Each structure stands twice: as structure tokens, then as C-alpha cells.
Amino acid sequence: MSRRGYEGVAVAVPVTVPYVRYSIRAAHWWLARCLAELLKGCGLRKEDMDGFSVSSFTLAPDTAIGLTQHLGLSPRWLDHVPFGGASGIVQLRRAARAVQSGDADVIACVAGDTNHVDSFRLTLANFSQFARDAVYPYGAGGPNASFAFLTAYYMRTYGVKREDFGKLCVAQRDNALRFAHALFKKPLTLEEYLAARPIAEPLHLYDCVMPCAGADGFIVLSEERAKRLGIGYARLLGTIERHNAFATDPVQMRAGWALDRADLYEQAGTGPQDMDFVQTYDDYPVISVMQLEDLGFCAKGEGPAFIRRQSFTWDGSFPLNTSGGQLSVGQAGAAGGSLGLVEALRQLTREAQGRQVKDAKLGLVSGFGMINFDRGLGSGAAILGC
């Protein structure tokens, strides 16, 4: 049975609460600011918003429900999606169905985290039961160590070179220089990338995201309501979501996208060749390459050749992570799962200012989350159009 589409659903009001490296505020502060910006962006009072979806690592001991009282909300539809980098896509597809079915009319989706000086270590130490039992006691390298294994294996198997990953990082930094909220404000050269200090070999400094505080959010509502509010919006054309795919692969070389991409393109009525830009989940460059392969932009193992053939700046042959991605904007915890999504909305609503992809009509966003043990578990993707 083919899946029902998302007719009539609008995604609007891209918000990024400017990131900072460290914050003395709680996650609640960041999520509150994000929500306030969302409401301001669509000209609604919080009483007019009847759906609320939250993703955060550092909100504990609270969850979404506690946040309703904290922020004085009374939604009739509430969601908490603690899936890290997969959260944005999952929040979006759940909210879209809720709006379509009439369970809620206006849903604010927010994702964000604070970052105290010691909160990253504490998050890592208690990230998951498997991480606590079987990863953290081994050098406490956090995701750097896990992705070092995947990167080393990928480089050996498919002949990816550091220069290839470097090309992605350098292009994203170029894009970030045109995004006001990016934490990295200086250009990055390939020479600087290659000369960076090692963090967890073969990963070096510029392969790793920088933890920071921040929040991103968007509004899901009906097209009709969006038109009445007079706000720009994108349409949702297709989505996929998958967790713990290919569990018996000894090392992660692919994720759920490889299983579900036909479903994604069929629902959207498009193919990878139709995309005007792509926003991957980019906590490490190897994961961007994996997504490009698994989502059909090139065959498995052809990532390096694809990288050498394309240019990835906002005005290049394959605009990728046009706001700079997490590698150049920063990783504000769970907000990383929405960073690409809000950038896609900006591109499709012509709000991308100095980095607007010309005539952008279709874009693909993907999410990837939760290194529970040795690999990322959650994957998702969405195709949006204007």
C-alpha cells in the first residue's frame, strides 16, 4: 500500500537562536527563546498554538510536558523526541500528520540545548546504557572515537582521502561565512584543514563538530492557515524514518536511508537528480558522504569520486549544507537535527540572504542520530519544495 502524501501541510518560520560556545542558562531558556521567535515569526500568541514538539539532551529532569508549565502553554498535542540528530525529521513528520488529521492546527517544533563548561562530558558519560557500559570506559573519547572507527574503515575500504573530507569542510566554511549565526567566522583553507591537530586518528580538529548552546525551530501548520497568516512556507513532499537498520553489519557503512530511499523519492514524486540543494547531518564529514551514497546521489563507494567531481558551496554544482552545517555553525546538541531543516526552509522561502541557491525549488534534508554504542541508530530524510 502506498503511503498517503502530505498534501495541505506547510512548514514555515525557520528560526535559529544564535549559538554561543558556552551558556550559563538552562535548556529551557534556549527553547523558550526559540518558541518566542517562532510565534513572532507567524504573528501568533502562544494561546493560538495548540501543538508543541520538543527535542533536547539537557532538559532533564524535565521533558516536554514539564516545559508546558514552565512556559505557560496548554497544547492539545504534545511530543517529545529525544532522538538526537534524527529528531528534526521525526518531529516534522509526526507534526505533519497531526496537522493533516486535525489533531492540532499550529505546531511549534523546537530543538535545542544548553552547553555549560562541563555539560558535554556529563552528557557523554551518561549518554546511553551501552555507552556507559561499553564505550565511555574506553578512553572517554565520546563520538570522536566512534566516528574515528567508521572513518578509518571507510577510508580503507573506499579509498577516501583526507583531502576529500577536507573539500567538504572547506566548502561548508565558505557557506558559513554568509550565515550570520555561524560560530566559525574565519575562512578555512585545505592546508589548515590538513595541518590541524589530531583528535582521534584519522579524525583531526576540523572533522569534529564543536559543542555549543543554541536552538532551532520551525512551525508546522496547514497551507491554508499559512496563507491566511501571510507567511512564506515550504511544502512537505516526502519523508522516511528508520531505526537500527542493518544491525548485523560489523561496522556501520550505511544506515536506514539505503533501505528506504525508494520510498522517499516515490512519495515525493522526484529523484535525487531533481534536488537543488541537500542538507546532510554532518557531525563528521564521513557521515555526509554516507548520506550522499545512501540517498542515491552516487553509488556506495563512489563518494570520493563524487566529491572530486562536484563543488559544494551555495553557488557550486552541488549546494550542500548551505548555512555551513554543524561543522561550521556549531553543534547545539539536539538542535543539530534541525539546523539543516531550517536552512532548507530559508532556501525555499528565499530568506537565505547572501547564500541563496538560485531558483531553489526542491531540497533534501536528512537526519542521523544517537551513537548508542558503535553506530548511529536513527536515520531520516525529508524532501521539501516550494
Residues that bind another protein (CB under 8 A): 120-121, 124-126, 129-130, 132-142, 144-145, 148-150, 152-153, 156, 197-203, 247, 250-251, 373-374
To another protein, the closest distance from the beta carbon of 155 in angstroms equals 9
> Which among 252, 128, 156, 144 is positioned nearest to 199, based on CA atoms?
144
Nearer to another protein, 77 or 120 (CB): 120
To another protein, the closest distance from the beta carbon of 148 in angstroms equals 4
Nearer to another protein, 1 or 247 (CB): 247
To another protein, the closest distance from the beta carbon of 162 in angstroms equals 14
- Cα–Cα distances (Å) from 382 to 16, 78, 84, 277, in that order, read 19, 21, 16, 12
Nearer to another protein, 207 or 276 (CB): 207
To another protein, the closest distance from the beta carbon of 176 in angstroms equals 23
To another protein, the closest distance from the beta carbon of 204 in angstroms equals 9
Other beta carbons less than 10 A from residue 272's beta carbon: 16
Nearer to another protein, 252 or 310 (CB): 252
Nearer to another protein, 122 or 262 (CB): 122
Three state DSSP letters for 124-188: HHCCCHHHHHHCCCCCCCCHHHHHHHHHHHHHHHHCCCHHHHHHHHHHHHHHHCCCCCCCCCCCC
- Cα–Cα distances (Å) from 214 to 176, 219, 368, 381, in that order, read 16, 18, 19, 22
Nearer to another protein, 22 or 29 (CB): 22
Amino acid at 42: C
Cα–Cα dist 292/3, whole Å: 24
- As given in the structure block, the three cell numbers for residue 117 are 563548561
Nearer to another protein, 125 or 180 (CB): 125
Cis status, amide bond into 202, omega within 30 of 0: yes
- Give me the helix-helix angle, 285-294 and 162-176, nearest 10°: 100
To another protein, the closest distance from the beta carbon of 136 in angstroms equals 5
To another protein, the closest distance from the beta carbon of 208 in angstroms equals 9
Cis status, amide bond into 75, omega within 30 of 0: no
Q: Are 237 and 6 in contact (CB under 8 A)?
A: yes
Pairing state between β 277-279 and 362-371 = parallel
